Structure 1
Amino acid sequence: MGKRVDFSGRGVIVNGPKLKLDECGIPKHMALELFKPFVIRGVMEKGLAPNIKSARRVVTEEGPEVWEILEQVVEGHPVLLNRAPTLWRLGIQAFYPKLVEGDAIRLHLCVTSGFNADFDGDQMAVHVPLSEASQKEAREVMLSTKNLLNPSNGAPLSIPNKIMLFGTYYMTSIDANIAPSDKVFASQEEVLYNLSVTGLLFLRQLVKVKLGDEIIDTTPGRLLFNKIIPENFGFINKDMTKKDINALLSQAFEKEPSEVVVKLIDDIKDLGLRYGTVSGHSVSLTDIEVPIERDRLIAEGKESVAKIDKNYKRGLITKKESQRLVEDVWVDITSRIDEAVWKDLGPSNPVKVLVNSGSTRASRDQVKQIAGMRGLMTDPTGKIVPMPILGNYKNGLSGLEYFVGARGARKGLVDKGLKTADAGYLTRRLVDVSQDIIIRKDDCGTKEGLSVTVGEGTVLQTFAERMAGRFLASSVELGKGKNLPAGELLTKENLAEIEKAGVKEIIIRSPVACETQRGLCAKCYGYDIMTRELVKVGTTVGVQAAQSIGEPGTQLTMRTFHTGGIAGKDITQGLPRVEELVEARTPKTLATMSSIDGTVKIMTAGDDRKIYVIPSNGKKEDTVEYIVDPVAEIVVKDGDVVEKGAKLTSGHLDLSELVSVVGPRLTQRYIIDQIQQVYA
């Protein structure tokens, strides 16, 4: 897979807060070694040495003229940065080098997501493209500013995070402890002058200011933030949380050229870093108090559980029912304690501010565990442990509670160590089978397509998000003499028209219906979600798809969940489920499938359970009988009408059986839906 290369280096990465999005900091001494041939040429061109041997000596002496030549050489010459493991295309990106002091490579704060890197001692390799052709490819395809979107879903990826997000949230929020200004200001400039020069206003103070023809209530911080926003976006007058910044950047990607988006990302980063630092925000243990109602609510929970236990001992309910009722009690008590903890935190509480900003992984659930109660835990197989942890981190856990909670934590760490290799191996096998799926031509000319129900979304996307960027395989009548012809590109605008016109179904061009030999055509594939443009001929879409399934695999849990706590009833999830699907294996938990259209009749005699499907044509002799596995859960009810290929019991369908009953097209759709469910 890999090649050995000259002119490469390796170093620990640290953040480079002053870098632009397409820049990285390379230590001077490392750069001198990496660009040695170019520097030697520069030394000889300047007449500082008569031959290569003398030029080498001049370079080794590292005089001021050598550093001058090095500065000129690295200007505009991209380098490649790579972090192992390279699970997808964003694991290696190009940057323009800036010479820095020290021994560490400096990385822009917004590109860490693509590399899955952090600054706790991670190392990266640097490679220098030597030929003109490789430099051109680095600039046009691999540059970080050309890889801002996630290849697997098209969402913005290289965007501000952590303290940058907190800084923008802080500067755009209102400080309830500062009285609003009683003056009305004539312009933004006047407000900002009173903020920075006279000091009469505070960053987060409510002020009245004339914008255009109206007077609005806003803050100096929001005015500062709006100075970096493109004009056609209008005035943004709200607290900018992580969600809002993501929505703003998504909108920018759709409306603006990439240079504008790149500048916006850098500007948000600079503002966020500045005001995140200015905020002086800190969190202490005293910022979270245990609510007074906690003990009363826990006592209420214990009382309810005692009643359930009494009913079970009297034989009024089964063991399974008693377990479910106990779980319900503790879920309810935990959520009520969570409400109490959250209500106790004031609007300007440092912890609440941090959670609301969305800038860190801090969540309301963690606050609940610190000051409320940890609640119900799961064991390593995903089954709920009937004993909840009533303690919290602030008051401390008992020995038994600690051990109940430790099992889950250990499982997480073990999984992390094991699943990285599994995800890498899965990616490798997927690439192996899909590497020759390349966009071969513009249009294969097929009339075939995939029928899609209008308004039907998936677990991951809405209908409009799924369909935008695809082409119609057959025309769509919109009424009032208006129609969309076959071959029309679907956009969010015309998809809204389709939904408004009440169209039930559309047929779209799809890779599964493409007739191109040894690959796909651009019309059947549609838009490239990484560039938001029609996919170009020559794009290796197969490898891109393989990496998009493999890379997020490292974040999937390898856990097998128990359904309803029935022994031997493991439902495969996560990576093993993806492998099961793409390799068309017989599922570990096989569901019973109806092979005909008809009505369900369920018969139970002791432990024996049978499902009959009476055909829709009314011929009783064609009735099909299915014997149900003793541990399986029936997912249909008596009298239900089912179609062929429908699941009658819990579990997963056998793909070879499914394809023989419903054909390849519906089986392909089942595989796609199942894989998307895993990543939801």
Structure 2
Amino acid sequence: MPSSINKTNFGEVKKPETINYRTFKPERDGLFCEAIFGPVKNWECQCGKYKRIKHKDQICDRCGVEVTESKVRRERMGYIELAAPVSHVWFFKGLPSRIGLFLDLSLRVLERIIYYESYLVLEVEGNLTLSVTDDESISKKKSSAEYLQVGQVLSEAEYIQWKTDYPTEFRAGMGADSIRELLEKIDLEEEEQDLRQQLAASSSKQKKKKLVKRLQLVTGFKKSGNRPEWMILEVIPVISPDLRPLVALDGGRFATSDLNDLYRRVINRNNRLKRLMELHAPEVIIRNEKRMLQEAVDALIDNGRHGRVVRGPGTRPLKSLSDMLKGKVGRFRQNLLGKRVDYSGRSVIVVGPELQLHQCGIPKEMAVELFKPFIIRKLQERNYAQTIKKAKTMTENMSPKVWEVLEEVIEGHPVLLNRAPTLHRLGIQAFEPQLVEGRAIRIHPLVCKAFNADFDGDQMAVHLPLSVEAQIEAKLLMMASRNVLKPAHGRPIAVPDLDIVLGCSFLTKTVPLSTNGHPIRSFRDQDEAIFAHEQGSLELHESVNLYFDKEKVLGENGDAKSLLCAKLFSDKRYAKLFADKKTEKLFKKAIDTGENVKNEIEDELKPALKVKKAKEKSLLCAKLFSDKKYVTLFAEVEEEAGKPILTTVGRIKFNQVVPDGLLFEDSETGRNLPFVNQEMHASELSDLVSRCFYEIGNRRTVGFLHELKELGFHYATISGISIGIQDMIIPKRKKEMLDEAWVDVSQIESDFQKGLMSGGERYNRVVDIWRGLISRIEDALFEELKKDGEVEGFNPVHIMANSGARSKREPIRQISGLRGLMAKPSGEIIEHPIESCFREGLSVLEYFISTHGARKGLADTAIKTASSGYLTRKLVDVAQDNMITVYDCGTLNGIIKNSGEDDDQELSERVMGRYPAEEVTDPDTGETIVGRDQI
């Protein structure tokens, strides 16, 4: 509302000057005028007549400045009274144009009116018609005569022709003033009714669409209490000077906000227009000046929206009011939604392989600033400083006492680490801080996946939970060691990756038996094999026969009674109790047949049993051996424990970090043993971590992850794996396979020329041939990579791809095999493949074809990132007012999940993390598996 601009503002800005460059004081009536915007110094007027707070709210009779706080210069606004009305560029140029919708004018026509190129008819007396003229440039209408109507647009030539015929019967004008006159005549009530009637009567879809847009605009204006003519500006508000500062630099120069330059252009042109109007200058000159004023206001509100961009020094576009508000660095997202909080810091992240999973490294300088209040309190408690000021000085000077206190303060006080964008819960996790040198934050390598972090310059923010409740919550819920699983699917997210996978894969590899030529050696236990390796008599990947301790196998099979029984049998004190031949026969009978011979065994043992404890244990042993279930188990383990397994020292070393209590099926023998006997790739390691979590608990899993990290890094270093150009071998049969494919393609082309198939069928079959060829070349490549080198399976490229440490098969195929089929930006596959690979080098045509997909990939990435971020902001905007106060609404409704619904996911995975609507029971036994409303 124009009147509200005058009411809320404190004075008119009449001059374009900012400050006096001699006195450095704001110029009166200028863009920094103290009389309008308030004093520069607290409680002091410009001339110095009134100083101090005792003159509060008094207006100086000399300089006209109110004596108040200088902070009002951030709040008070001024205004510029325009000599001619101008259109607001948002309402005129925005799509759809709001002014254009009201007047039913196209944007192009509206632009010609506002920028003084065409006339708009404002008043017409009677029915005026224009006779046909020979000049085609004046009128290109099909009819021989036309009626003049209000709202009609006339070119310069048409206007002159009408004026010649009817000098006083009509009135037309140019610019925003004419637009405003027509907008003032609009009655929103009548317009709404008229549009509704037209909408009801219309049958054209296109016309209805246009009418709906106009109706929405009219009802919106009506509900908000705004008038259409307010889209035309007569007064422009000038924002507070502290929001567009002018800063003095060294050397007597000044740095100023771009807005000051844009305001200066508006004021200069406005003052010049006023002067020309007072001098009654020719219409052409005034019209040109009005157009320039309109352009200056457009640039102030939204620079570049219309016409040429106004540029500052160095051809840099000036930042307008819209630029200050919109975008990532605008007022809303940067300053209002993205406020910085106290007790927080930010720095680049680097890897901290020496850390535990629940720890992070915080730079010492940052920690001092983060924990400053805690340090000051502790310094006073210890009497190192008597006052807060003294404690602050000690902190700022980094006194040795400060480091001593800091160590105590951070102990047990968790910090939160956040990496933007925070797309899921694990984007913010809690850690115990460890003081480190340097200026970079250190994080554990296994939390990188949860944060989606890497070490190519990523930054992370640190936040400090202050209250006891916040600290407890951080420790119990947000600590990284308590977030091993991803909430989305329940599988581990803190899993080995990259170097760790590479090290574990290298460690657990095995050399084929034929390559070393040595006989396979046997070892009684794991320690003996490791000792032989450390002495240098056994290679890391050499195959060995490993025997297992009978008691350990029994214990790992999870049967305490059988283990006790085995121990009794191996104990010399009780051996004589079972030495009797009759007893031995009975035991053998029990083992062989599984018959219950408990009474007979007890009778035989009674004479020999004199010691009470021996008697109890022996009787227990007898009972166990007479029980068919334990007899069978003991007999199986007794037999299996005596057999060795074929493994390597590397796998033995890997198993030393695997927690006790887990059984694994041996791939060769099918036996269940407490030993992982396979090559460990990324997927196998992830499965192992998952089993650990669900079978032995979170605490032991975290310990296992730490040991796994140490082991992986160590053997990744020992392996010395690096990639050279010679490791990327080209398949020997590549050319032959390509020639075969071209023969097949030629046959299809021939069949197509004969009319034996359609164009679509030809295209699909050609693409299928090339896809099949790509797959065969990929398989041949990896087969040759596997056999490459002195020892099979140790090609560095093959190890990396096969283990899942880095890269997939496809990029390696493009490097050493062929690039293959490319897609157009439309998504359609180009049927001619790129036959070369990067190792061989691409031809000009092949390189050009490959740029299609690369360009589209980059564009898609940028678009997806922007649109997903925008969706997040929209969701926050919609949901921020909602507060969940009721945990269970008591509904009985639910979602039915069927086992055959999704081929990609098993039912068990899809129901994990959900609450059953009804009790789930075992159909055979009737046992309750999970109750209603239990996760």
CA distance in 2 between partners of 1:447 and 1:72 (Å): 53
Contact 1:469 1:489 in 2 (8 A): no
Shift of 1:65: 2.2
The letter for the 2-side match of 1:318 is: S
> Take 1:8 and 1:228, find their aligned partners in 2: how far apart are those partners?
38
| Superposed CA RMSD | 2.3
Do structure 1's residue 323 and structure 2's residue 766 form an aligned pair?
A: no
**Which secondary structure state, in structure 1, belongs to the residue aligned with residue 530 of structure 2?**
helix
Q: Indicate if the aligned counterparts of 1:80 and 1:94 stay in contact, CA closer than 8 A.
A: yes
- Measured against aligned partners, the alpha-carbon deviations of 1:651-677 in whole angstroms (never above 9, x if no partner) come to xxxxxxxxxxxxxxxxxxxxxxxxxxx
* Residue 173 of structure 1: aligned partner: 509
> Which among 623, 629, 649 is matched to residue 220 of structure 1?
649
Cα distance change on mapping 1:128 and 1:472 into 2, 3 Å: closer
Shift, 1:211, TM fit: 1.2
Within 5 Å, which residues of 2 pair with 1:151-230?
151-176=487-512, 177-179=515-517, 182-196=520-534, 198-212=535-549, 213=641, 214-230=643-659
Task: Say if 2:711 is the partner of 1:374.
Answer: no
In structure 2, how many angstroms separate the alpha carbons of the residues matched to 1:127 and 1:479? 51
Q: CA deviation at 1:199?
A: 2.3
How far off is 1:202 after superposition? 2.2
Residues of 1 paired with 2:441 and 2:406: CA distance? 17
* Shift, 1:424, TM fit: 1.9
From 379, 395, 414, the equivalent of 1:78 is 414
Superposed, 1:305-344 pairs within 5 Å as 305-344=745-784
1:483 aligned partner: 926
Following superposition of structure 1 onto structure 2, how do residues 459-478 of structure 1 map, counting pairs within 5 Å?
459-468=903-912, 473=917
Cα deviation for residue 473 of structure 1 reads: 4.6
Q: Deviations over 1:92-114 (max 9, x none)?
A: 11111101111111011011112
Once the two structures are TM-superposed, the CA of residue 275 in structure 1 deviates from its matched residue by: 0.7
In structure 1, the residue matched to 2:475 is 139
Secondary structure of 1:385's aligned partner: strand
Deviation string, structure 1 residues 248-285 (Cα, Å, up to 9, x no partner): 11112211221111111111111101111111011211
Q: Deviations over 1:71-130 (max 9, x none)?
A: 111111111111112222222111111011111110110111121110001111111122
Q: Matched residue of 1:386: which SS?
A: strand
CA distance in 1, matches of 2:366, 2:518: 54
Q: Partner of 1:301 in structure 2?
A: 741
2:404 is equivalent to residue 68 of structure 1: yes
Q: 1:448 to 1:417 in 2, by over 3 A?
A: closer
What is the rounded CA distance, in whole Å, between the counterparts of 1:133 and 1:316 in structure 2? 78
Tell me the amino acid that sits aligned with residue 200 of structure 1: S
Instruction: Name 1:122's counterpart in structure 2.
Output: 458
Aligned residue among 430, 437, 441 for 1:94: 430
| Structure 1 CA distance for aligned equivalents of residues 417 and 706 of structure 2 | 20
Alignment of 1:352-431 (within 5 A): 352-360=798-806, 362-431=807-876
Rounded Cα–Cα distance in structure 2 between residues aligned with 1:352 and 1:235: 26
* Aligned equivalent of 1:598: none
Determine the C-alpha separation between the residues in 1 that align with 2:389 and 2:915. 62
- Counterparts of 1:494-513 in structure 2, within 5 Å, are none
Question: What secondary structure, in the 3-state scheme, does the structure 1 residue paired with 2:465 have?
Answer: coil
Q: Deviations over 1:152-179 (max 9, x none)?
A: 2222112211001111111111134545
**Paired position in structure 1 for 2:632:** none
Q: Where does residue 572 of structure 2 map in the other structure? A: none
In structure 1, the residue matched to 2:796 is 350
2:141 maps to: none
Instruction: Please tell me whether residue 275 in structure 1 is matched to residue 721 in structure 2.
Output: no
Q: Do the aligned partners of 2:490 and 2:912 also contact (CA within 8 Å) in 1?
A: no
Indicate conservation of the 8 Å contact 1:87/1:424, yes or no: no
| SS at structure 1 position matched to 2:407 | helix
Q: Does 1:260 find its partner at 2:696?
A: no
Which residue of structure 1 aligns with residue 726 of structure 2?
A: 286
Structure richer in helix, relative to its length: 2
C-alpha deviation, 1:468, in angstroms: 4.6
Name structure 2 gaps, 5 residues minimum: 1-336, 550-640, 663-673, 788-792
Separation of aligned partners in 2, 1:394 and 1:218: 37
Rounded to whole Å, the distance in 2 between the matches of 1:299 and 1:190 is 56
SS in 1 for 2:834: coil
Q: CA deviation at 1:471?
A: 5.7
Q: Kindly indicate whether the alpha-carbon contact (under 8 Å) linking 2:508 and 2:678 is maintained by their aligned counterparts in 1.
A: yes
Contact kept? 2:489, 2:909, Cα under 8 Å: no
Contact kept, 8 Å, 2:657 with 2:704, in 1: the verdict is yes
Measured in 2, the distance between the counterparts of 1:389 and 1:174 equals 37
The alpha-carbon distance between structure 1 residues 438 and 254, as it changes in their structure 2 partners (threshold 3 A), is: farther
1:8, CA displacement in angstroms? Answer: 1.4
In the alignment, the residues of structure 1 paired with residue 409 and residue 749 of structure 2 have an alpha-carbon distance, to the nearest angstrom, of: 79
Normalising to structure 2: TM-score of the pair?
Answer: 0.50
Deviation for aligned residue 1:401: 0.7
Q: C-alpha displacement at 1:464, in angstroms?
A: 2.2
Among 353, 359, 366, the alignment partner of 1:23 is 359
Query: Aligned ranges for residues 581-596 of structure 1 at < 5 Å?
Result: none
State the 1:292 CA deviation: 2.5
- 3-state SS in 1 of match to 2:547: strand
1:189 alignment partner AA: D
| Change over 3 Å in CA distance of 1:460–1:77 after alignment to 2 | farther
Find the residue that maps to 1:99 and give its secondary structure: strand
Shift in Å, 1:419? 1.3
Of 464-473 and 322-331, deviating more is 464-473
Aligned equivalents of 1:218, 1:439: Cα separation in 2: 58
Query: Which SS does the other structure have where 1:387 is aligned?
Result: strand
For residues 357-407 of structure 1, what are the alpha-carbon distances to aligned partners after superposition, in whole Å with 9 as ceiling and x for unaligned? 1111x2222222222221111112211112211111111111111111111
Query: What is the match of residue 49 of structure 1?
Result: 385
Give aligned pairs, total. 487
For the residue of structure 1 that corresponds to 2:442, the secondary structure is: strand
Conserved? CA contact 1:179–1:205, under 8 Å: no
Q: Which amino acid aligns with 2:465?
A: P
Residues 437 and 45 of structure 1: CA distance in aligned 2, closer, same or farther (over 3 Å)? closer
Report the Cα offset of residue 289 of structure 1: 2.1
CA distance in 2, matches of 1:78, 1:467: 34
Q: For residues 478 and 745 of structure 2, what CA distance do their matches in structure 1 show?
A: 60
In structure 2, relative to structure 1, the CA distance for the partners of 1:146 and 1:477 (3 Å cut) is closer
**One-letter amino acid of the counterpart of residue 351, structure 1:** V
Alpha-carbon distance in structure 2 between the residues aligned to 1:433 and 1:118? 32
Distance 1:457 1:139, change over 3 A: same
Secondary structure in 2 aligned to 1:231? coil
The code of the aligned residue for 2:815 comes to: I
Rate the CA distance shift 1:90–1:306 in 2: closer, same or farther, 3 A. same
| Alpha carbons of structure 1 residues 297 and 447: separation in structure 2 relative to 1, 3 Å | same
Q: Which amino acid aligns with 2:717?
A: T
Q: How far has the Cα of 1:427 moved from its partner?
A: 2.9
Deviation per residue, 1:480-501 (Å, 9 max, x gap):
6x3356xx518xxxxxxxxxxx
SS across alignment from 1:367? helix
